[in-house]
Amino acid sequence: MSIQRWDFQEQARELRGQRDLSTFDLVSIDDLSPEDIEIILDLAKIFKESKAEKLSLLKGISIINAFYENSTRTRSSFEFAGKHLGADTINISGAGSSVKKGETLLDTTETLAALQPQIIVIRSEFSGMPEFLARHVSASIVNAGDGWHEHPSQALLDLKTINDHHGSVKGKVVTIVGDVLHSRVFGSLARLLKKQGAILRVACPETFIPEKGVEVFGFEYFSDVEKALQGAEVVYALRVQEERGSKGYIPSMREYSKTFGISAKRLAMAHPNSILMHPGPVMRDTDVHSALVAIHDQSKILDQVENGMAVRAAILWMIGERKDGSVKAYKAL
C-alpha cells in the first residue's frame, strides 16, 4: 500500500514533535548538537520517501538561495528541497547580482534580508562569510559552502549515505583521499565523523595537509594511498581544487592521478563491503577513474546527490519554522 501525502506530513510532524534545532543558523557542523544531527537524519528519511509529493510544511516561508560561487548539486537540491516543502524560493547568483557592480556581500545580504525571508542560503568564496553575515541579519543563514572552510549540509548528506549502507559510521574506517587543504567538504565531514566516532584516515601529498590538521581533526595521515585503503569501509575521494591554487602544491595533475587517483585496483584493496563516495564535481581520471564514477556497484556518488535533497529539506524545515516561537537575536553594526 502506498503512503499518502498527508501521511508523510503527519509522520514528519509526529517525529519532530516540539523540537527545534539548538541553533538559528547553520554555518558549521559545530553548531549542531548530537540531538540536532539525529533529528535531521530521521526527518531526511521521510523527505526522501516523499520526494514525488508536494508537501506544505514550509508554506508561507520565504527562502533566498544566494550563490556567489558556481554550484550544481547544492543549489539545485536546496531549491528543490524548499519547493518540496511548499516554501517560496528565489535564487540569486553572483553574475546576475549587484555584487558585480561592487556592492559588498554585507550590503547585498542586508538588502535581501530587508525582503524578510526566514532563511538565506549562502555560498561564498570567502571563508567565514556566512558566520559574519549571520551576526548582522535577522534571517537565518545556512552555509552552502564558504571558501576552504565548511560545507555542513554536504557532511550531513554524506553521513546519511554512509549510515544507509553501513547502519552507522561509529567504529568504521573512513579513508579520505585528496586535496583536504582546500576542501570545505573535508572541513565539515572531518568534524562530523569525529563527533560520530569514525576512524578517520587521510591520504594525500604532504603539501595538502592543513597545519595542525592531525591535532584538530584527529586523523591518521598516509602518504601511501594503498596503505590507507587497506580495510577501509568508506573510500571518500576529493577533487584537486585548481581554482584555489592546488596545482601549486603538486608536481602535476598526471602525477597526482597516478599516485592518489582511485582506480578499480585500488578500490579492491578496501574492505569488501566498502563504498566509494565523492562530493562532486568529479574530475574523471584524476580523482576517480571513469569506470567507477556513477555505475560501479560500490559507487554511492549519485546516492549522495539524492540524499542531498532530503537532508536539506530537513535542515530548512527545522530552521525555517521554529516551534518555540523564539526570534533570532542579532548584533546590529
Binding site for ligand CP (CB under 6 A): 71-75, 145, 151, 154, 279-281
Considering the complex, state which of residue 238 and residue 314 has its C-beta at the smaller distance from ligand CP.
238
Amino acid at 62: S
List beta partners, residue 276: 235, 299
State the nearest-atom distance from the C-beta of 182 to ligand CP, in Å: 13
In this structure, the number of other CB atoms found within 10 A of the CB of residue 104 comes to 9
State the nearest-atom distance from the C-beta of 71 to ligand CP, in Å: 3
Amino acid at 75: R
Burial call 163-196: b when 16+ CB within 10 Å, e when fewer: bbbbeebeebbbbbbbbbbbbbbbbbbbbbbebb
For residue 214 the three cell numbers come to 592531525
State the nearest-atom distance from the C-beta of 79 to ligand CP, in Å: 11
Contact 155, 185 (CB under 8 A): yes
Considering the complex, state which of residue 126 and residue 222 has its C-beta at the smaller distance from ligand CP.
126
Nearest to 318 by CA among 13, 8, 6: 13
Contact 150, 143 (CB under 8 A): yes
Nearest to 51 by CA among 309, 311, 319: 309
Half-sphere exposure of 234 (CA within 13 A, CB side): 31
Q: Look-up: residue for cell 503527519?
A: 10
Considering the complex, state which of residue 127 and residue 259 has its C-beta at the smaller distance from ligand CP.
127
State the nearest-atom distance from the C-beta of 160 to ligand CP, in Å: 14
Considering the complex, state which of residue 72 and residue 98 has its C-beta at the smaller distance from ligand CP.
72
Contact 99, 105 (CB under 8 A): yes
State the nearest-atom distance from the C-beta of 78 to ligand CP, in Å: 9
State the nearest-atom distance from the C-beta of 210 to ligand CP, in Å: 19
Considering the complex, state which of residue 39 and residue 292 has its C-beta at the smaller distance from ligand CP.
292
In this structure, the number of other CB atoms found within 10 A of the CB of residue 284 comes to 13
Q: Helix (H, G, I), strand (E, B), or coil: what is residue 91?
A: strand
Considering the complex, state which of residue 36 and residue 146 has its C-beta at the smaller distance from ligand CP.
146
State the nearest-atom distance from the C-beta of 133 to ligand CP, in Å: 19
Considering the complex, state which of residue 16 and residue 75 has its C-beta at the smaller distance from ligand CP.
75
State the nearest-atom distance from the C-beta of 153 to ligand CP, in Å: 9
Question: Which strands form 275-277's sheet, in the order they lie side by side?
Answer: 220-222, 199-203, 173-177, 234-237, 275-277
Considering the complex, state which of residue 76 and residue 263 has its C-beta at the smaller distance from ligand CP.
76
